[in-house]
């Protein structure tokens, strides 16, 4: 692997580094000044990829953590951190954002700045979701070598190009911290790629207190009960492994090129469900929409359709659930193969259901049933009439009841087709990588 050449693309140059250093110092002063007004605050420190030296060239975020004493009540924790964030960033267009709890985002000299509250606690005594971050920062600062920091950058770019970087639910990919853990564990980018190319089902990266049900577990080095891969979809883990195989076995492969696929099944066999949304937190809507898509895909499979993939699009106004099927139209009748006639109790049970029964040439009972719905559109409309029964999260029911549309094949809007183009494109890298890996 030409890791040396590749690194040049991802390591920030001196001018960038110097500019970031200045911005970070400026922000720290502003936040510290405001934080000093509150006795609840026990410290302010830089965190995230900037503090760990693993940020990607041209894509710096500066995270400032405001640390509270562990006795501060939740309500005050939220209110004070909000005041510190808005007051310190008053000149930089501050706004409230939400992860597990609210934080303040601003833009300083073109750099995104996040002012994030957390509790100052010992390992394992977590009170809020961000409490681990200062510990993560300390660990990576201490343990990552200079070369490894750059290898983290390369890995992040590799993930980003493949659309699998980011732990947010809209992506369900690898967090920056997961990338750092992978590099730390395998010692570098090349080692990580070669090992991940050959990783076995059920493998655990790091030290784990128990067994996790993800195909591969990525353990948080500061918490042997926390599996970072829990936030990564299985599909994305699969794409990562295939990407690693490609890079490991194809001398012409590049971490910066995910080979956009020329193969596509086209939109004929896609069904789209669209409905409006409210002003709920986007992370929440994304989570609900993903669960809805999974639940509806399961119902469609039960109804006789084969779902190749499903995908969710969420913007400020609407939610789209996209289903790529083997076919949006299936035969009207379905044959259920029952037991051998001579298996008497089973045969009696089988004959209880509605439908015409035949005796097959092999002496089995066959029931011919008329499907309730033989087009994906009809089945989806049916599912949407009773969203609870299908397992669609309750938070979406009123949006769906206010009006959900179902569109199939050629009638899908061009804008959706453009936004979700990857849905219908084959995962091309699979071919080369999967083939070579077996040689």
Which residues are at the interface with its own copies (CB under 8 A)?
198-201, 215-216, 233-235, 237-239, 241-242, 245, 263-265, 269, 294, 297, 306, 308-310, 326-327, 329-335, 340-345, 347-352, 356-366, 368, 426-428, 430-431, 434-439
Nearer to its own copies, 90 or 368 (CB): 368
CA 56 – CA 13 distance, rounded (Å): 11
Q: Which of 107, 150, 173, 136 is nearest to 47 (CA)?
A: 136
β-pairing, 61-68 vs 307-314, is: unpaired
Whole-number minimum distance, CB 348 to its own copies, in Å?
2
Nearer to its own copies, 112 or 363 (CB): 363
Nearer to its own copies, 78 or 185 (CB): 185
Whole-number minimum distance, CB 279 to its own copies, in Å?
29
Whole-number minimum distance, CB 211 to its own copies, in Å?
16
What number of other Cβ atoms are within 10 A of residue 73's Cβ?
Answer: 10
Q: What is the 3-state secondary structure (H, E, C) of 187-248?
A: CCHHHHHHHHHCCCCCEEECCCCCCCCCCEEEEECCEEEEEHHHHCCHHHHHHHHHHHHHHH
**DSSP code string of 89-103:** TGGG--EEEESSSEE
Exposed, middle or buried by CB within 10 Å (0-12, 13-18, 19+), for 169?
Answer: buried
Whole-number minimum distance, CB 332 to its own copies, in Å?
7
Alpha-carbon distance values, 278 to 314, 387, 439 (Å)? 11, 18, 52
Do residues 366 and 337 make contact, with C-beta atoms less than 8 angstroms apart?
Answer: yes
What residues pair up with 274 in beta bridges, in sequence order? Answer: 320, 405
CA 254 – CA 236 distance, rounded (Å): 19
Nearer to its own copies, 90 or 359 (CB): 359
Whole-number minimum distance, CB 173 to its own copies, in Å?
13
CA 223 – CA 177 distance, rounded (Å): 13
H helix intervals, 322-428 = 344-350, 376-385, 397-401, 414-419, 421-424
Whole-number minimum distance, CB 326 to its own copies, in Å?
5
Nearer to its own copies, 99 or 167 (CB): 167
Nearer to its own copies, 111 or 375 (CB): 375
Nearer to its own copies, 27 or 237 (CB): 237
**DSSP code string of 109-170:** TTEEEEEEEEE---TT---SGGGHHHHHHHHHHHH--HHHHHHHHHHHHHHHHTT-B--STT
Nearer to its own copies, 99 or 378 (CB): 378
Whole-number minimum distance, CB 379 to its own copies, in Å?
15
Nearer to its own copies, 93 or 198 (CB): 198
Nearer to its own copies, 12 or 338 (CB): 338
Whole-number minimum distance, CB 147 to its own copies, in Å?
29
CA 295 – CA 345 distance, rounded (Å): 34
Nearer to its own copies, 104 or 324 (CB): 324
**DSSP code string of 335-351:** EEEEEETT-HHHHHHHT
Whole-number minimum distance, CB 21 to its own copies, in Å?
41
CA 77 – CA 80 distance, rounded (Å): 6
CA 162 – CA 53 distance, rounded (Å): 23
Whole-number minimum distance, CB 287 to its own copies, in Å?
15
Dihedrals phi, psi of 154, to nearest 5 degrees: -65, -40
Whole-number minimum distance, CB 224 to its own copies, in Å?
22
- Report CA dihedral (355, 359, 360, 361) to the nearest 10 degrees: -160
């Amino acid at each position: 692997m030409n890791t040396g050449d590749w690194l040049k693309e991802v390591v920030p140059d001196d001018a960038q580094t110097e500019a970031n250093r200045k911005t970070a110092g400026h922000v720290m002063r502003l936040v510290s000044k405001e934080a000093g007004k509150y006795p609840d605050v026990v410290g302010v420190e830089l965190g995230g990829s900037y503090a760990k030296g693993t940020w990607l060239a041209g894509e710096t975020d500066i995270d400032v953590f405001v640390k509270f004493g562990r006795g501060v009540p939740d309500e005050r924790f939220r209110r004070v951190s909000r005041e510190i964030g808005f007051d310190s960033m008053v000149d930089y267009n501050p706004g409230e954002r939400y992860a597990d709890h609210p934080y303040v985002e601003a833009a300083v000299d073109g750099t995104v700045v996040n002012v994030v509250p957390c509790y100052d606690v010992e390992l394992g005594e977590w009170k809020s979701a961000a409490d681990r971050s200062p510990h993560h920062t300390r660990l990576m600062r201490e343990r990552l070598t200079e070369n490894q920091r750059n290898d983290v950058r390369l890995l992040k770019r590799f993930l980003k190009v493949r659309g699998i970087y980011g732990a947010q639910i809209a992506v369900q990919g690898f967090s920056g911290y997961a990338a750092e853990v992978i590099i730390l564990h395998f010692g570098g980018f090349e080692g990580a790629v070669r090992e991940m190319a050959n990783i076995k089902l059920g493998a655990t990266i790091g030290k784990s207190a128990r067994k996790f049900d993800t195909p591969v577990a990525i353990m948080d080095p500061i918490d042997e009960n926390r599996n970072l891969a829990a936030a990564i979809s299985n599909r994305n883990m699969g794409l990562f492994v295939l990407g690693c195989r490609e890079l490991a076995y194809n001398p012409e492969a590049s971490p910066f090129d995910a080979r956009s696929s020329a193969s596509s099944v086209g939109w004929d066999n896609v069904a789209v469900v669209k409905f409006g949304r409210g002003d709920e937190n986007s992370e929440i809507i994304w989570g609900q929409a993903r669960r809805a898509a999974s639940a509806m895909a399961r119902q469609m499979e039960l109804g006789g359709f084969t779902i190749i993939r499903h995908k969710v699009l969420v913007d400020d106004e609407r939610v789209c659930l996209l289903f790529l099927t083997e076919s949006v139209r299936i035969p009207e009748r379905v044959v259920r193969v029952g037991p051998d006639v001579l298996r008497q109790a089973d045969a009696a049970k089988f004959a209880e259901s509605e439908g015409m029964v035949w005796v097959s040439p092999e002496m089995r009972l066959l029931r011919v049933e008329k499907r309730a719905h033989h087009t994906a559109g009809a089945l989806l409309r049916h599912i949407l009439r009773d969203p609870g029964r299908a397992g669609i999260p309750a938070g979406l029911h009123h949006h769906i009841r206010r009006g959900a549309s179902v569109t199939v094949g050629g009638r899908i809007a061009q804008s959706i087709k453009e936004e979700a183009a990857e849905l219908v494109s084959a995962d091309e890298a699979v071919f080369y990588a999967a083939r070579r890996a077996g040689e």
